[in-house]
Structures are given as structure tokens and as C-alpha cells.
Chains A and B, each alone.
Chain A
Amino acid sequence: MPVARVLDAADLTRVVGRISHEILEKSHGPDDLILLGIPRRGVPLAQRIAERMHSIEGVDVPVGSLDVTMYRDDIGLRGARPLGTTDVPLGGIDDRIVVLVDDVLFSGRTIRSALDALNDIGRPRAVRLAVLIDRGHRNFRFAPITSGRTFPPREPRMFGSTWWKRTGWMRCCSARPRRVAHEAPTECH
């Protein structure tokens, strides 16, 4: 399967920077912000955004993770998956601005599940979304606050990202579509 690079390590650094700035701008600063990465690939991304925010504002923005496997509506279709960790930072989400972080926004199912999960955890003041790639083929309506790259709805390519833990690099890539159009992107190299 031919793989093309959409964002390389250097691009990613710039995109993370832009995303971090945009979030801080829209929220008028880091107060009451809390970043929740969606496992698996949203988690290291949320970490990088938090680190960048620290170097911009000099403040520690709480960062954690929110696994949504048990909130999905497609049980029985894809088999049981191992659960990711849900780690809500101390202090919870009540009256905070929650920024959900994921690598690719596609149908929006994951985000919809995440909203249901947040509902069961507490009552945030606002919920925003940050993604690297917005594919635009959404089944649910909401607009992310910020995205690295946007692609038009007719875009047939699949998207994925790879995270190298050791080096802290991240890279986004795309590939020709597989048979089933609505399948979520999987990891590619």
C-alpha cells in the first residue's frame, strides 16, 4: 500500500505549536484548561501540547487520558478491544474547559462517545476538540477548535499516525483506501 507523508517531524512541531497557541487564544489563557488525550495516539499528542503550553505560558496544564471503548455504539461489530487507560487528573473536570485531543477526526463517533463519557465523569464548563487531521466525513455535527490539516469530504485516502516513544517524534501519513470506506484509519508507517 503506497504511503505518503502528510506531516513530517518538523511539520508536526510547527503544527503542535500552532494548535497550542490557538487553544490558549480561544480560552484566553491556560486557566481552567485540562487536556484529555484519547487513547492511544491522542495521549502522546496531548502530552506534547501540554509541554508546548508550558514553554509558552510557563504554567502546567493538567493532562490525562479518556478511554472511550466502553462508550462506543458498535459493540459486536469489531470484537472486544483492550481498554485504554482513563486517567482524569486530580481535581476532576467540573467547571473546567476540557480539550479532547486525538490524532484523526473522521466520522466523529469517537468524539461522540467521548462526550458521553465526559457526561458520566462530571460537568465541564466547555468541551473543545483538537486534532491533527480533520477528514471531514463526519456523521456527527461539531467543529473542532483547531486542526493541523483539513481535507475535503471527498478525500478517499486513509490517515494514520505513528508515535515513536523513544525519540518523541510523530509523523502523519496517508494511504490509498481499503475496501470498506467507513473503517477508521489504522496505523501505517
Chain B
Amino acid sequence: MRHLLSATDLDRDQAVMLLDTAAELASVTDRAVKKLPTLRGRTVANLFFEDSTRTRLSFEAAAKRLSADVITFTAKGSSVSKGESLKDTALTLEAMGAQAIVLRHHASGAAQRLAESGWIDASVVNAGDGTHEHPTQALLDAFTLRQHLRDGEGDLSGLRVVIVGDILHSRVARSNVWLLRTLGAQVTLVAPPTLVPFGVDSWPCAVSYDLDDVLPEADAVMMLRVQAERMTAAYFPSAHEYSRRYGLDAARASALAEHAVVLHPGPMNRGMEITADVADSPRSLVVDQVANGVSVRMAVLYHVLADPGSVLGEEPA
């Protein structure tokens, strides 16, 4: 697994192995020395073209816990000016010794382009590319679900997961649909018809426009961030109508089965897709998601750099 670009890169066994690895690595925090020397002397570069403090810090923490050196490049703004092209920046980071590049970019497919264009030899980990994928988010979501609903072992066979929100623009939704399906879960997407991608009926999941209809059967509900600005492009008439029809409030939360849990990739739009009391309730695993993110990303970095096809594999022994 030289790169991790998409949740579809992983089959069931690979996904379970990553989750198992993450579970072992989580216990490092209980040790006297909370670091492992695995990537000592190696350099991981964070290349973030989109602002995201949360994900960036998570990858930084993961790399550092493996004793890697971390260099970070962040670019502001939504358009890439001539001096900040993806190719140029990646070449610069590789020249500075990066053996792995963690990329977040506003263009769908940017991570795949970086990995396959031949510009660089480094391994590429997709930290979110446009509206396409965010595979490590899906992995940490799966890890969290496994931890709470499957005793931290095996896959997610038979688990019923509902994903609610702006599916059309969500890379988290896409990666989760593919990965949850690979791990044997059943996924239902819930959104107004305008926020569901064209051709979604070919996806391996169900689609519903009625949130109240699907909540009682769900084992887990994943709420996605919905931007209020979408209403200016006529995706929905008003923020109020959106949250009335698709928001998770206390009343809806009480319709959930007793064991059911609530996830959110963050950052949350409290009051829009989720109310504060639900976000802070015992059902909500948001804080666990963040903690699990570091172990999962440690597992990913290890697997990517340990692959014999990676730059490290070509170095003389």
C-alpha cells in the first residue's frame, strides 16, 4: 500500500489490518515514553492547500508519535496562484527530504494526480481532495464504530449506518460509503434531493429523503456539516427549513435505539445539522473520533512508508 488515495484502495482484509494496527498503536499513550521510533530519521510533509487545523494537527501528532520529522506547508485562499502550484510545492517538499506527503487540496483528484503523475517519488496520503475522498476520516469513523459497537474487533458486518447531510459536496460521505460497505455495513444516505449526487442510485447504499423514517433502525448516525451558504445556490430554501427537516435535535435523538451512537467529522454547525445538546450527549462519539484519528493516522503512515514500493524500500539496507 504505497499510497492511500481512496477508501476503495482497501479491501476488507487490508482495512481490518489497519484498524487492528491502530488499536495496538492506541496503547502507546499508556506507556512511559509515548513515542515509537519507527519513522525516526524520516520526514513526513503536510501539504495543506485548504485550511484545516484539526486534520493537520492530527497528522502532525501521528507522525511525531512515530518519531518522524514533520514539515508543513499551508497555502491560503481557494485559488492556486502561479507561485503555489501543486507540482512545484510537492517537488520542493521532496527536495527537502519528504518521503511521504500528506495532501489536503481543494481539487478532486489532486492526491491521485500527485501520486501518479511521476512528479515525485514520495508516498501520498490523501487528507481530503475537493469533494472526492477523505479515506483516513472514514477509517477513524470505522474504528470508532468498531470500538463501541463491535468490541474493537473484526469488521462491521450487519451494522446499519445512516449518513445525513450535504452528500453532494461531501468527501467524508463518499469515503464512508465505500469503506463501510467494504467492512460489511449497510449504509443509508439521507438528504434533500438537491444535495444527493447525480447517479447515486449506482452507489452501494440506500437513499432516503425522510430522516425520521430511518432513525429507529439505525445503529449509528453520522451527521455531516451543511453550509448555510448553500441556500444561495438554491439547494434548499432556508437554513431553518433545512434543520427542521434534516437536523438532529433532542426529539429525533430520542427516537434512536438505545445503543445507537452519533458521529460527526467536525467542525459542527451547531443549530444547523445538529443541536448542541445532542452534540454533547453521551451518545455522541465526537471526542473519541478525534482521539482515534491520531492512532488511525499512525497506522496509515506506518503502512504507507513500510510498503516495499515506497521510497524507503528503495534505500540501501
Contact in complex: A80, B1 (CB < 8 Å): yes
Residue of B nearest to A94 (CB): B32
Interface membership of B310, Cβ < 8 A: yes
Contact in complex: A86, B36 (CB < 8 Å): no
How many angstroms between the C-alpha atoms of A171 and B24 in the bound complex? Answer: 29
Nearest-neighbour CB distance to chain B for A110, whole angstroms, equals 15
Residues in chain B near residue A67, CB distance under 8 A: 24
How many angstroms between the C-alpha atoms of A119 and B32 in the bound complex? Answer: 9
Contact in complex: A85, B35 (CB < 8 Å): no
Nearest-neighbour CB distance to chain A for B22, whole angstroms, equals 9
Residues in chain A near residue B311, CB distance under 8 A: 76
Interface membership of A168, Cβ < 8 A: no
Residue of B nearest to A72 (CB): B38
Chain B CB count within 10 A is highest, among A67, A75, A116, A120, for: A75
How many angstroms between the C-alpha atoms of A119 and B35 in the bound complex? Answer: 11
Tell me whether A82 and B317 are in contact in the complex, defined as CB-CB below 8 angstroms, given that A119-B33, A120-B32 are known contacts: no
Tell me whether A75 and B24 are in contact in the complex, defined as CB-CB below 8 angstroms, given that A70-B36, A80-B1, A121-B31 are known contacts: no
Residues in chain B near residue A70, CB distance under 8 A: 25, 36-38, 66, 302
Consensus secondary structure, chain A interface:
loop
How many angstroms between the C-alpha atoms of A76 and B315 in the bound complex? Answer: 8
Other-chain contact of B307, A71, A80, A119, A120 (Cβ < 8 Å) = A80
How many angstroms between the C-alpha atoms of A82 and B22 in the bound complex? Answer: 10
Residues in chain B near residue A59, CB distance under 8 A: none
Contact in complex: A116, B37 (CB < 8 Å): yes
Residue of A nearest to B123 (CB): A76
Residues in chain B near residue A71, CB distance under 8 A: 36-38
Contact in complex: A77, B317 (CB < 8 Å): yes
Interface membership of A122, Cβ < 8 A: yes
- Would you list which residues of chain B between 233 and 279 have a CB under 8 Å from chain A? none
Residue of A nearest to B308 (CB): A79
Interface membership of B20, Cβ < 8 A: yes
Contact in complex: B24, A86 (CB < 8 Å): yes
Interface membership of A83, Cβ < 8 A: yes
Q: Per-position contact with B for A76-114: 1 when CB-CB < 8 Å, else 0? A: 111111111110000000000000000000000000000
Residue of A nearest to B27 (CB): A86
Interface membership of B305, Cβ < 8 A: yes
Chain B CB count within 10 A is highest, among A80, A85, A122, for: A80
Other-chain contact of B306, A80, A86, A122 (Cβ < 8 Å) = A80
Residues in chain B near residue A83, CB distance under 8 A: 20-21, 24-25
- 15 A–B contact pairs at CB < 8 A? A70-B37, A75-B38, A75-B305, A76-B305, A76-B307, A76-B308, A76-B311, A76-B312, A80-B21, A83-B21, A83-B24, A83-B25, A86-B24, A120-B32, A121-B33
